[in-house]
Structure formats: C-alpha cells, structure tokens
Structure 1
Amino acid sequence: MNKMKQTNNYMFAGYDTVELAKKYGTPLYVLSEESIRSRCKEISTDFLGKYENSKAVYASKAFLTMTMCKIIESEGLGLDVVSGGELYTAIKAGFPMDRIMFHGNNKSYDELEMAINNEVGRIVVDHIDELYFIEEIGARMDKTVKILIRVAPGVEGHTHKYITTGQKDSKFGIPLDKVTIDEAVSKAIASKHIELMGFHFHIGSNLFENDSYVAAVKTIMNLYKRLKDDFNFVAKELNTGGGFGIYYTEKDCVKPLKYFTDAIMKAIYDCCQELDLDMPGVIIEPGRWIVGEAGITLYTVGAVKEIPGIRTYASVDGGLPDNPRPALYSAEYKAVVANKYGLKPDRLATIAGRCCETGDILIWDLEVPEIKRGDILAVLSTGAYNYSMANNYNRIPRPAVLLLSKDGEKVIVERETYEDLLRKEVVPF
C-alpha cells in the first residue's frame, strides 16, 4: 500500500495518484470509500437523527455497482433505482428490497413485474397508465403494492436546462392540474392491490439554493390539504428528491446538507400547522451529493498541440467515452497535473479527449504548469455520472474502477478489454 508517502505528487484519500496510474493504468476511476461513508454519516447526523420518521435513499443512477450497494446498505440508507438493470444489481448484491424506491418515467411491464415480485419498498408512479399495470400485476401475484405518485410541481431549479426536472412541462411526473391528479388519486385509492402512500417531486440536479425546494413543498402540501378535503385521503409520506449541489469549480457555492434539509423540514412543518395536516414521513434522495466529490479520474497526457497565439491542446487517453457530461450539458471540472502538483500553474491548456468529435473537450483553458506527453492528469469530482454514463464510442473499452480505503486498494470493476467489446456480437454469415 502506497499511503502517506512523501511526494510532490497529487494525493487522493492518502494515496499517491501517480503511483496508482502506473499500477492500474489509465484512464482510471478512483473512489474514496471514506469520503462516501462520511457523507452517509452526515445524512445520519443532520437529517435522520434530527427528524423523526425520516428516510434517505441513495440515488443510484449517480454511481452503482454491487460494492456500492454494500456500502449504502451498511450505512443504513435505502436505494433509489430507475431501471431493471439497477434493480437487478441491487438484487444480486443482496440489498434489502424493502429499502428500495423504484423510479422511472417509462418502466416496462417486465420491470414492474420484477419490482413487485421482489417486493420493493415503493414504486414511484410516473404516469396514470402505470397504475393499470401495477393493479394487474398485483392482482395476479396477490400482492398489495405501496406507491408514491411523482408530480411536476411547476418549480424550476436553478441549473442547466438538461437537468431541470420539476418544471410544468417536464417529461417526469404527473402535471399538477386538478383533473389529471384527481384521476390518478381516484384510481390508486380505489384499487385493491395499490396502497397510495404519498407523493414525490424532484426539481433538478446540482442545485445550490433551497428556495426551489421550499416552493415545491408548499405546492405539494396544499395538494395534500385538498386531497384530504376532497377524498378524505391522508398522505403519509412526502419524497422531496435530491439534487443538492457539490463542488466542481470555484464558481460553485456549496452548502451543507442541512442548509437544504432544515429548510425543507421547516416548510413542511409550517404548512402542516397552517393547513391542519399531520406531519408526513419525509424522504430525501441524494446521489451526486454522496459520491460526486468522492471520485477522481486519472488520465495520461498524450499529444500536446500548440497553436501559437491561440490555444494549447493537451490530449488525454480518455474523454467522451468515460465522461460525456461536458459534451452533453457543458459540465465543468477542475483538474491538476498529478506528477507536477507542487509546481505553480503558469499557462493555459485545453484538455481534449481522444475521440473523433470536435466536442470531445473535458476542460477548456485549464491553468497548468508546463504539460508534456506522459504527464498524469487528475480530474476532480468525477464520482457521479461518469462511470454511470460511460460508453464504448470509437470502440474504446471502459476504465476500471478502484476503491481506496484505510484497508487498501480494491478493484471493484475490472477494466474492459477489446475482447469484451466483441463478446455479444454474432456474425450471421
């Protein structure tokens, strides 16, 4: 183990990143188990231990492996899944099914069968047709399915338009017009095989202000009041989603978890007092917030191309296939030249990926010391959505995932090989 070694190289979770790159190759995803667990413990202290009848479920779309399932289970959190593949991963990892929330705006019939057969804790219904599928499957399996209904509260989070999800015309959730909501609620409460527990909203990702959450809570609590008056229905739960922002660059004004959760809980409590409602159980769904800053990606610099008076490109051995977020919605990152960490940056370089796409740029105009072929670049805060979104564009194998802990280094996902790229192919002639 190469921890606590005296070096000028960039250290992450107590490990020399240059030595990790030499040992495991690049590109390489690296995660800090201690950082992940620290965030989980902050949730336990500042939310679960502070408020009665509260739950937290990890939004697994941010990063999911069987090892991650084991970590989340051991920290006492639940799991939010959005596909049959994510659910299957949780099943194979032995994750407690009653702690699973099954999301998705277009769940297939087979996925719903898998969820109901395995008795997941909640299915979050995204459209009215889904209620008919759940009723049919529940009747056939003689099961009562606990659900939440996802709604679009008409509140826009302050973030990139591609990761805003709570606006009125969102593809997610049921619109909050009276006719549509009443139809969904009527169907759910009339069903013999559905138990409507409450509602869910999610207003966007990587948010740094709590006002959108408070506005959404007020909207939903007024819905709870109307449903109590019109249907004599008392909602027992409210899932307020996740989306809490993390640090990517100096522009990000990061707040602690309690900045969001305290405001959410106060808004719910105040609404209950004002509207004469019982306090519902409250659920949050942090994903990126748990794992985002716990990860980095290591690359090796290859070609360095200088265009005099215009730009210097430093190309790395990864890019769009292992991190499509910059190309997808202009995500920004900070990075350091790991083997020259002690040197003062005195120039700019644009970090280019290796793919045949003009848009394959990881970072524009990064401040660096002199950068050369063979240098190791560490891109920070890549724990969320990088491995999850990784692909094989240009037939590039996906990187390995390395977990660092006090007990040592563990490869939790092996590096793909060229043979892996062909494994599913069939030549018909």
Structure 2
Amino acid sequence: MTLLDFLPSLQHAATTRIDPTVWPLTARVDDLGRLTVGDVPLTDLADQYGTPSYVLDEKDFRRRIRDYRALVPHAEIVYAGKSLLTPTIASWAAEEQVGIDVCSEGELAAALQGGFDPSRIVLHGNAKPPSLLRQATAARVGRIVIDSPIEIAFLACETPRPQPVLIRVTPDIDIHGHAAVTTGVTDQKFGFALANGQAEQAVVRILKQPQLILAGVHCHLGSQIADPELYGEAICRLIAFMADIRSRHGLTLNELNLGGGHAIAYRSGDPTLHLAELSATITDTLEQACIAERFPKPRIVIEPGRAISGHAGVTLYRVVAVKTQPGGRTFVAVDGGLSDHPRTQLYGAKYTVALANRHPIGATQTVTVAGRHCESGDEIARDVDLPTDTHPGDLLAVACTGAYHHSMASNYNMVVRPPVIGVHHGNATEIIRRETVEDLLARDVAWQKRHRSFDALLHGE
C-alpha cells in the first residue's frame, strides 16, 4: 500500500500535474508527491546540482527520434542542433542514426566531437563567415545550404574539393496565424526568393562553379507549425521550381529539404503537428506534384529540432520570495529568469509550471512566476496556478524547456548559466557543469593579470 492508496484524492492531483502531452515521457509523481523524471526525483537533482538546473530525459529525446523514423519512414531525419546541442547530445542523435544540422563553429565542433560522420552534417546560416565555410569544407560536411550570393563566391574559392550544396528557397508561404515565427515569406533575411527569378539566378551562378555540386533545394517555413498542409503547399511550389530548373538547365535535382518548425505543446491543449498526418501529406502531395510536373521523386529530408529536444527538458527553480501587490498580481520569484529562460520575453511563449517537491494539497491561486533579473519583463510564466501555500524553498519545475533554453542562455547581470543534467533509468549524469564566476571573468585581461579566486575576493584575501 502507498500513500496514494490511502488518500485517493492525491491520485487525481498527481495525474493532473503531469499531462503526458507536455511533460517528458518518463515524468511521474512518487508517493511523497515529488516529481520524478527518468526515475530520479527532481528534488534529489536540485539538492545535488543546485538551481536553476536544466534536466534532460535521455529516453524522451531518443524516443522522439525513433517516432520520426517510424512515422515518417520515407524521409531522412536531420536533427536541428540549434535547438539543443552538446557533444553528449550529439552522440545520442548519432547513435539513433539521424543526420544533424549546425550553423556555427561551436555547433560543428560539438557534432564532430559527438561522433557524427561529417557526411551526415548539414551546415546552415544566413551569414556564414568565410572561416566557417573553410572549416566546414575541411571537415567534408555532407551539405552546405547556400543562403546568399556571396556564399557562392566564398565557397568556390575556399573548397579544396567538390562540395555538395543546397540552395535555400523562400516559397512565399505566409503562415501567420498558423505558427509563432514565419521564415518562408519573401520579405525576411533568409534564402533566395522565387519571385523575380532570384532563386534561379542563384542556381545559374552555382552551376558555373565546377567545385560546387547543386544537390537540391531547401526551405524553412517557420516555427510551431501544426498544419501539415503548409508543407504540402511548399512541396508543390518547390517541385515546380525544380522542374523548371531541369527544363532550363538540364539538371535534375534529387533532394528536397523541407526544414523543420514542427509544433509541440507547451501547455495542455496546445496544437501540435501529428507525424502520421505529416507523413501522409508529404507522400500524397509529392506523388501528385511529381506526376503533374513529370518529375522524378526527390529524396525528402526534414529537420526537426524542438520536436525532438523540447519535451525532454525540464528546468528546476527554487522559490526565493512570494508577494502580492495591493489589488494586483501575486508574484512567485525564483532564482533564475531570462538569462536561462529567454523565450517568454522574446516570443511571449507560455509554459507549464508545477510544484515539484510535494503534493499540492488545498486551494490554488493564479500567479506570475517572476525571474531574478533587473527587467520588468523578466517572467517565466504568467497566469499559472500554484498552491496558495507556495513559499520560499519550494521547488518549481517548468516543462518543455529542452529546446532554445540552454542554447540561448546568456550571462545577463553576470549571472552564471545552469548545468545540464541527463537522467536515464534512475541515473543522473552531469552533461554540462554549472558555470562559475571564475568562468565569467576568465576572458577578462585584467582579471587574468591579477587573478584571485572569487572566494578570496569575498574574504579580502
């Protein structure tokens, strides 16, 4: 018998705290009311590694990749590393036999250190410096996505051997009202527009460079897309473009990369992109478009990032203060904020928050979970329900923080960045250690010349 058997009402409380569409696959509530992930109580992680801390469910991360491979079997899966990347995480993706896309020297190094075959690496970026292109070609990455005219010249000069490339095309599909961010329209910084022949002009320039092998076309429509028909529309437009290239230049492109941007749920009831529906849309639309253009079916590539790493992550915070303003909101202030949780302020993103250290018995109230930084907009979540007896020392868990949190973390107010803790089958592993004040000052030339430890400074030594 357990406490839940003696007090059945707690079973309902436990169930409502961990909506499986939001929390990691292994998230549970134990008999003491503690949230657990990967069979590890989050309170134990907070005690051992401190707060804030990023917690990453390895089983969830790997399972999402396997779901893609099972449910979208006719597409090659390339993990979008910008969502979350360390050498360890890269090794998980490599072991699951998917590709990876990177967009900086650091991401390239992490992918290679994680054991990725360079031929399975795709290099992205709208303003790649020559040094990055030089490193990518030296590493022999499988694809470089050309995003601007100057990159054609840079690559033609830098690559010591034939280099396969994709051209990023903007198909002018406006997804406002369907998604959080739109990148597939003409008036933005990415890619070559189909309008006015810009994309074709780029193709002509590439074909004049013998060291560049044009393998196919790439597009990215935006983020948090839940409607698979938008990808179907992109397929129709891009197959027509590829057919035009064959007709005008005698080149049959054999790769169509549809990018990522697949929607996931941050809160209960949020719209998501269903993989079976995406797969059916890709299969049916590709068949129809290729028949209509008499074009051979290209290899389809998709690049999920958030949809693989997002749900795997949970961020832990310790409550520092609780206060209610007269006639206003109740603020639950925690020991982190926009430096480790930037998306609320950047995008107005909304998150699920739960008490992690005990059963939330009794009434709840609507609160704003506020951060520690000197910014009025430093909020982790607004209008979320927490117990009325929430107090300093309580542990809060924020769901769905595996994507674009560690990767976008900053040192605003010179606050150190949290560790990343991997959990799997009851074991916890420190993937990234917590940053220290010494780390923050290590690049300061004056600090290097008269280096003393932070503890020594505090004690006047």
Out of 43, 48, 61, the position equivalent to 1:36 is 61
Q: Are 2:194 and 2:200, in contact at CA under 8 Å, matched by a contact in 1? A: no
Alignment of 1:85 onto 2:106: yes
> Structure 1 CA distance, aligned partners of 2:331 and 2:226?
32
> Structure 1 CA distance, aligned partners of 2:112 and 2:280?
33
Out of 303, 312, 315, the position equivalent to 2:330 is 312
Q: Deviations over 1:402-422 (max 9, x none)?
A: 000116110000001111110
What amino acid does structure 1 have at the position aligned with 2:77? A
Question: Normalising by the residue count of structure 2, what TM-score does the alignment of the two structures yield?
Answer: 0.88
- 1:389 is matched with 408
What amino acid does structure 2 have at the position aligned with 1:153? P
- 1:45 is matched with 70
Which consecutive residues of structure 2, in runs of 5 or more, have no partner in the other structure?
1-27, 450-461
Alignment of 1:301 onto 2:319: yes
What amino acid does structure 2 have at the position aligned with 1:272? C
Alignment of 1:8 onto 2:8: no
1:380-419 maps to which residues of 2 (within 5 A)? Answer: 380-406=399-425, 408-419=427-438
Q: Are 1:4 and 1:15, in contact at CA under 8 Å, matched by a contact in 2? A: no
- 1:258 is matched with 276
Out of 105, 126, 150, the position equivalent to 1:105 is 126
Q: How many pairs align?
A: 420
Q: Are 1:10 and 1:341, in contact at CA under 8 Å, matched by a contact in 2? A: no
> Structure 2 CA distance, aligned partners of 1:23 and 1:163?
37
Q: Are 2:225 and 2:273, in contact at CA under 8 Å, matched by a contact in 1? A: no
> Structure 2 CA distance, aligned partners of 1:168 and 1:264?
23
Which consecutive residues of structure 1, in runs of 5 or more, have no partner in the other structure?
none
Alignment of 1:196 onto 2:221: no
> Structure 2 CA distance, aligned partners of 1:202 and 1:179?
19
Taking only the aligned residue pairs, the percentage that are identical comes to 37
Alignment of 1:58 onto 2:79: yes
What amino acid does structure 2 have at the position aligned with 1:384? A
* CA displacement at 1:188 relative to structure 2: 1.4
Q: Deviations over 1:139-195 (max 9, x none)?
A: xx2x00000000111012246887211111121101112432222111212221011
* CA displacement at 1:9 relative to structure 2: 1.3
1:210-359 maps to which residues of 2 (within 5 A)? Answer: 210-343=228-361, 346-359=364-377
> Structure 2 CA distance, aligned partners of 1:272 and 1:60?
31
Q: Deviations over 1:100-124 (max 9, x none)?
A: 0100000000000000011000000
What amino acid does structure 2 have at the position aligned with 1:409? A
- 2:444 is matched with 425
* CA displacement at 1:340 relative to structure 2: 3.3
- 1:75 is matched with 96
- 1:133 is matched with 154
Q: Secondary structure at the residue paired with 2:357?
A: helix
* CA displacement at 1:6 relative to structure 2: 3.2
> Structure 1 CA distance, aligned partners of 2:209 and 2:234?
28
> Structure 1 CA distance, aligned partners of 2:179 and 2:233?
19
- 2:13 is matched with none
* CA displacement at 1:332 relative to structure 2: 0.7
Q: Structure 1 72/351 Cα, relative in aligned 2: closer, same or farther at 3 Å?
A: same
What amino acid does structure 1 have at the position aligned with 2:81? S
Q: Are 1:159 and 1:206, in contact at CA under 8 Å, matched by a contact in 2? A: no
> Structure 2 CA distance, aligned partners of 1:87 and 1:103?
10
* CA displacement at 1:344 relative to structure 2: 5.0
What amino acid does structure 2 have at the position aligned with 1:59? A
> Structure 1 CA distance, aligned partners of 2:303 and 2:381?
29
> Structure 1 CA distance, aligned partners of 2:102 and 2:199?
24
* CA displacement at 1:7 relative to structure 2: 2.1
Alignment of 1:168 onto 2:193: no
Q: Are 1:156 and 1:164, in contact at CA under 8 Å, matched by a contact in 2? A: yes
> Structure 1 CA distance, aligned partners of 2:175 and 2:47?
42
Which one is further off, 163-172 or 3-12? 3-12
> Structure 1 CA distance, aligned partners of 2:333 and 2:39?
27
Q: Are 2:178 and 2:226, in contact at CA under 8 Å, matched by a contact in 1? A: no
Q: Structure 1 83/89 Cα, relative in aligned 2: closer, same or farther at 3 Å?
A: same
> Structure 2 CA distance, aligned partners of 1:37 and 1:344?
37
Q: Are 2:179 and 2:226, in contact at CA under 8 Å, matched by a contact in 1? A: no
> Structure 2 CA distance, aligned partners of 1:415 and 1:182?
48
Q: Structure 1 159/90 Cα, relative in aligned 2: closer, same or farther at 3 Å?
A: farther
Q: Are 2:170 and 2:186, in contact at CA under 8 Å, matched by a contact in 1? A: yes
Question: Normalising by the residue count of structure 1, what TM-score does the alignment of the two structures yield?
Answer: 0.94
Q: Are 1:158 and 1:207, in contact at CA under 8 Å, matched by a contact in 2? A: no
Q: Secondary structure at the residue paired with 1:340?
A: coil
